[in-house]
Structures are given as C-alpha cells and as structure tokens.
Amino acid sequence: MTMKYFLTLLILLITNFTFSQAMLPNFLKGTWKMENKENFEHWDALNDNTLKGFSYKVNDGQMVITEYLDIIQKNNEVIYTATVLNQNQGKGVDFKMTKSDSTLTFENKNHDFPKQIVYKQLSNTEIFVQVTDGKQKGFAYKMTKQNLSKTQNDSLTLNPNYDKALAEKLGGDDYGMKRYILVMLKTGTNKTSDTALINESFRGHLDNINKLVDQGKLIVAGPLGKNENNYRGIFILNNVKTFEEAKELMQTDPAIKSGLLDIELFYWYGSSALPEYLPISDKIWKLKP
C-alpha cells in the first residue's frame, strides 16, 4: 500500500466516522423569539436521535401554532422536516443536513421554496436563521433564547382543557406524549410438539400478562392476525426505559423464556394518557381468556 493511498483511505475513514458520530444540534433546545416580532420556535430532545419542535405566534396571550418541526438522525443522515399548517395537504417537507457544526445547513433542491434552511449559532443565547432558494431569494432573522420561568412556560398553552396535575402524573412532555417500548411477539425457534409444555407455557404467558399489568409495566397486549412475518401479537411496555430492561422483563414470560415465542423491540412515541384506559377495560369484559 503506497503512502498516498494510505493517507487517502485514512482521510475517508476519519470523514465517515466523524459524520456517523455527528450529534443532533442540541443547542436548539429551548424556546427562541424572533427579533422584533412575537414569533417563536420551541425545541425539545425526545431522545438521542430526535429533536421535535414547533413554530408559534402569541396573539392576545394565546399561542397559535403555525408549523411543526422535526430533526431526526437515521443512520448517517440527519433530516429536518417542516410541516406547515394548512399547506401541502398536511404533509411535511424533508431537508437533508449537508453541514453540521455551529452552522446547520439543510437542503432540498427539488422543493420550490425554500430550498435551503440554515441555523447559525451566534452564542449560547442567539441564533441566526436563513430561509432561501439557495441563491439570492429569501429572508433571514435573528432569534434570542428565552429564559422562561416554569410559571411563564405553563401559561403558554394551546389547550384550554389542560390539566397540569394529570399531565405531571402521567409523565408526558409538552405535547402530552411519552416514549414506550413496543414488543413484537413472533413465532420462536422452539418447534417442540410437547403438548404439555406448550399448554403450560401459554397458560403462564397469559398469567404473566396480568401480572405485568398489575405492576404497571404493560398497558397494551393483544394477538395479531395471520401475516407473512410470523408476528403473533404485541405488547406496549410502560415505564421501561431501555431495551436491556425490556429483555429482562420479557424473560418472566414462560412462552418467551422457553423459545416458543421470540421478540423484536422498538421505541414507540405515543400519548402519555394511554394507561388511563386500563381501569375502564376492567369493566367491559364478560369472560376471561
């Protein structure tokens, strides 16, 4: 291997490694106000791979949302998605990040306007935003980070039915959402014909479902219809933070532990109110499975 070839390969490896390790622009987290206008952007980090935000105006003390925003890292790409209310039939427009440091550049050359969105960090409390066609047409503005107190933040709500105590009890974010773990149950590798083992394992499977519900760990369980993926059913786990914790919890299920069922795990973002249906569900069944 020549030195020239080695150096070229090394540069490529370093470039790819650096980009694959690129972190999301966490400096965006918080609430930002446009200079000289009552226009705002608010960003939250949902997890290591997702920032979720929205743009809004404040009219007579009321928040009016104009746009929903997402920045999601998938593999080696970071995608910025803007969904403007009452435009594009409610569909978001994706922009791919092409530059990432103190300046974030997102581009979609096939979009009419804008084709490019740029966030430049001026300091810990100021950012500069450009929205352009990638050339001369466009506009720009500066935004300042808002140091909102908890009282001020709570007063900015779009929902007149907002119940602060309930929201805090359920542990959701400002959108009333939280992260769960979705478990896809599928046919396992154990192909035994031992009827006694099968019956005992699946009886234990049903008993374990009830136990996990009582523990507040399981909030959705149910079978799936026949499908080509051999998926047999689903669980949605509550208050389980990691895949490792979920895998350990699933070993309390005899059908999974014996290999009659196998699992695939996914993070799922849904309403934090989901567990609230359980007390009602206990009042509508006539026969136990």
Q: Which two tokens stand for residue 190?
A: 């154990």
**Distance, CA of 18 to chain centre:** 24
Neighbouring residues of 74: CB distance < 8 A, sequence distance ≥ 6: 49
The pLDDT profile of the chain, 289 residues, written as one tens digit per residue, is 444 444 444 444 334 433 334 457 788 999 999 999 989 999 988 888 899 999 999 887 777 889 999 999 988 899 999 999 888 888 899 999 998 778 999 999 999 999 999 999 999 999 999 999 988 899 999 999 998 654 455 555 567 788 888 988 998 887 788 889 999 999 999 999 999 999 999 999 999 999 999 999 999 999 999 999 889 999 999 999 999 999 999 999 999 999 999 999 999 989 999 999 998 988 888 887 6
For residue 154, the model assigns a pLDDT of 52
d(CA 223, CA 234): 7
Parse the chain into domains and list their residue ranges. 27-162, 177-281
Which of these CATH numbers, 2.40.30.20, 3.20.20.370, 2.40.10.170, 2.40.128.20, describes 27-162? 2.40.128.20
CA 32 vs CA 50, 87, 100, 146, 178: distances in Å: 18, 23, 20, 6, 23
Tell me which H or E stretch contains 47: strand 39-47
For residue 90, the model assigns a pLDDT of 83
- Residue 51: strand, helix, or coil: strand
90: left (phi over 0), alpha (psi -120 to 50) or beta: left
For residue 13, the model assigns a pLDDT of 39
Tell me which H or E stretch contains 148: none
d(CA 175, CA 119): 24
CATH class of the domain defined by 177-281: alpha beta
C-alpha closest to that of 248 among 217, 289, 286: 217
For residue 151, the model assigns a pLDDT of 45
- Decide: 99 and 111 in contact? Cβ < 8 Å: no
For residue 64, the model assigns a pLDDT of 86
For residue 23, the model assigns a pLDDT of 57
- Residue 129: strand, helix, or coil: strand
- Residue 155: strand, helix, or coil: helix
